[in-house]
Amino acid sequence: RGKRAFIAGVADDNGYGWAIAKSLAAAGAEILVGTWVPALNIFESSLRRGKFDESRVLPDGSLMEITKVYPLDAVFDNLEDVPEDIRTNKRYAGSSKWTVQEVAESVKQDFGSIDILVHSLANGPEVSKPLLETSRNGYLAAISASSYSFVSLLKHFVPIMNPGGASISLTYIASERIIPGYGGGMSSAKAALESDTRVLAFEAGRKHKVRVNTISAGPLRSRAAKAIGFIDMMIDYSLENAPLQKELSAEEVGNAAAFLASPLASAITGTVLYVDNGLNAMGVGV
């Protein structure tokens, strides 16, 4: 039987989530995605209208099939968590069952189990503010959307993950080195995500034989990254200073994720894998 993957955080064909979906599909996996509720309509209609067909082409010439798109908002665990203003917001009212627990239940009902869980989402409302100017709410929102969202996804999906399964998230080196401009508590959120990768590897490994790893990716011009505002500078910096002087493609991160999710990586868990043209290893720019 082929493997089944649930990828949270796909809303267009530019980001890491899309590229990971493609690499997993090319390796024979069935693809389910979780799309942020406010982005759902545009994503689904673009898919239907063939807007992504060019980027759906797999190495063998076939088109990636997405078996099902689930609406998801990973900052809410269940209905009781959803405040009135969101519940009645017109972008949310058109969809249902989009809290983490409900999505896991729906996937269980539709498919029974999954093998691969991918977390490719982040949000920090104050990302463009320095940490020193970040509000408590902004900081906690960054942690909620970017770190706890992974804890919650794994918590709710791990009971339906087959033994030998794997989960993967995306992190950024701002967790461990100073990257001015990556503010709003996003650097803190990535540090939490990396630490949680180790603790969850232990807990999910012992209890469910599920592996937990995170990919520390280099800069990509995704929708989320463009919103931060310094992505072109980071791409130029990497081109200039990394051991491998080429632009990083989303596909390279997708392929590393497919490796980590595969039996080729069956002894790898609790790790941060750099997929960044080696930039992390540099001490000074030359």
Stretch of 84-92, 109-117, 120-128, 154-162 contacting ligand NAI, by CB under 6 A: 120-128
Among 3, 5, 7, 11, binds ligand NAI (CB under 6 A): 11
**DSSP collapsed to 3 states, 116-149:** EEEECCCCCCCCCCCHHHCCHHHHHHHHHHHHHH
* From 16, 92, 172, 237, the catalytic residue: 172
What is the spatial distance between Cα 120 and Cα 171, in angstroms, rounded to a whole number?
9
Contact map string, positions 76 to 115, toward ligand NAI, x by CB under 6 A? ----------------------------------------
Per rule CB under 6 A, is residue 9 in the interface with ligand NAI?
yes
Q: Among residues 16 and 52, whose Cβ is nearest to ligand NAI?
A: 16
Stretch of 49-57, 60-68, 202-210, 219-227 contacting ligand NAI, by CB under 6 A: 219-227
66-72/30-36 β-pairing:
parallel
What is the spatial distance between Cα 86 and Cα 96, in angstroms, rounded to a whole number?
12
Among 222, 269, 271, 277, binds ligand NAI (CB under 6 A): 222
Q: Among residues 160 and 228, whose Cβ is nearest to ligand NAI?
A: 228
Write phi, then psi, for 5 (nearest 5 degrees): -120, 140
Per rule CB under 6 A, is residue 209 in the interface with ligand NAI?
no
Residues forming beta bridges with residue 7, ordered by sequence position: 33, 118
**DSSP label of 177:** S
Positions 153 through 182 that interact with ligand NAI (CB under 6 A): 170-172
Cβ contact 241:285 at 8 Å? yes
Q: How far is CA 254 from the centre of its chain?
A: 11
Per rule CB under 6 A, is residue 73 in the interface with ligand NAI?
yes
Nearest distance, CB of residue 39 and ligand NAI, angstroms? 5
Cβ contact 282:240 at 8 Å? no
* From 70, 92, 139, 182, the catalytic residue: 182
Per rule CB under 6 A, is residue 212 in the interface with ligand NAI?
no
Per rule CB under 6 A, is residue 122 in the interface with ligand NAI?
yes
172 flagged as catalytic: yes
**DSSP label of 71:** E
Among 4, 23, 29, 36, binds ligand NAI (CB under 6 A): 36
Which tokens sit at 228?
Answer: 């931060």
Q: Measure Cα distances from 49 to 15, 43, 101, 285 in Å.
A: 20, 10, 30, 45
Q: Among residues 223 and 263, whose Cβ is nearest to ligand NAI?
A: 223
Residue whose structure tokens are 């995704």: 222
What is the spatial distance between Cα 151 and Cα 219, in angstroms, rounded to a whole number?
24
Nearest distance, CB of residue 121 and ligand NAI, angstroms? 3
Per rule CB under 6 A, is residue 121 in the interface with ligand NAI?
yes
Residues forming beta bridges with residue 66, ordered by sequence position: 31
70 flagged as catalytic: no
Stretch of 66-74, 110-118, 133-141, 153-161 contacting ligand NAI, by CB under 6 A: 66-74
Query: Terminal CA-to-CA distance of the chain, rounded, Å?
Result: 49
**Which residues does the annotation mark as catalytic?**
172, 182
Positions in the binding site for ligand NAI (CB under 6 A): 9-11, 14-17, 36, 39, 72-75, 120-123, 145, 170-172, 217, 219-220, 222-225
